Amino acid sequence: MPVYTSEALILRTYKLGEVDRIVVFLTRDRGKKRGVAKGARRAKSRYVGALEPMTRAGVAYYEREQRDLVRINYVEPTRSPLSAIGMAAADASVLGHVGYFAELIDEWAPEAHADERLYRLGSAVVDALAAGAPIERLARYFEYWILRLQGVYPALTVCPGCGGPLAAGAIMPPREHMFVCRRCGSSGHGTDVGPDALRFLRAAGRTAPERMDSLELDARASRELETAHRRLLNTHLEKELKSVRVLREMGR
């Protein structure tokens, strides 16, 4: 049985049998894997604290012939957003977003082959969380990039309706998934995305994840993008994520 070792992001776990867990993780070099962590639910398990969502870790695992589930040898955490923030300091919104980032990566990570750019994005989010980046800005950046890596982010410079520029702000019309100019769309029908939000998106497109703290985003622009991104995500995933419902409940 070949053993692989890889840097990986823990995405989620679920129970298996009496004491084990199945761990879903995104490796840097071989895509998403599901593996059995033997005894992970025992109180003195060596996996305690190592399997929280968005933990970056060194993972060793065996691939078994004819089986989708790999067998995990060890998980050695190198960075966890929660331990870095400190459990006490981590507010509910940050915790909710950690689950949200992990669920989005899980939805879109290919099972069979590596996606280096997705891995880099996820890994940079872990670093940004650990550095205490403002959570809303981080979420909008992450949503923009994960949609863009899937090739489904709408055009940001030219209106598909008239070919004119979008600099003065844009509208995502109801039931459509593109940004049109304010002459082609009508304000109040659909989702308004103002000039500040567009500026943020264009800057995000030129900014590596490691540099995202140089981006500016005010509360209003963040709300506009949150609405637009949620519509795009729900359409392309054909569902609403569980973690999004959690975040919405928190917002009330």
Of 135, 113, 184, whose CA–CA distance to 155 is shortest?
184
Angle CA(114)–CA(115)–CA(119) in degrees, nearest 5?
110
Strand partners, 15: 21
181 forms part of the interface with Zn ion (CB under 5 A) = yes
User: What SS3 state is found at 24?
Assistant: strand
Residue showing tokens 């949503």: 143
54 forms part of the interface with Zn ion (CB under 5 A) = no
**How many residues in the shown chain lie near Zn ion by CB under 5 A?**
6
Q: Which is nearer to Zn ion, 3 or 155 (CB)?
A: 155
Q: Which is nearer to Zn ion, 149 or 184 (CB)?
A: 184
Site string for Zn ion, 121-160 (x = CB under 5 A): --------------------------------------x-
184 forms part of the interface with Zn ion (CB under 5 A) = yes
CB 27 within 8 A of CB 114: yes
- Which of 162, 168, 208, 250 is the binder for Zn ion (CB under 5 A)? 162
Q: Which is nearer to Zn ion, 51 or 159 (CB)?
A: 159
Choose the stretch contacting Zn ion; rule: CB under 5 A; options: 23-31, 95-103, 177-185, 230-238. 177-185
CB 213 within 8 A of CB 131: yes
DSSP 8-state code for residue 216: -
CB of 164 to Zn ion, least distance (A): 5
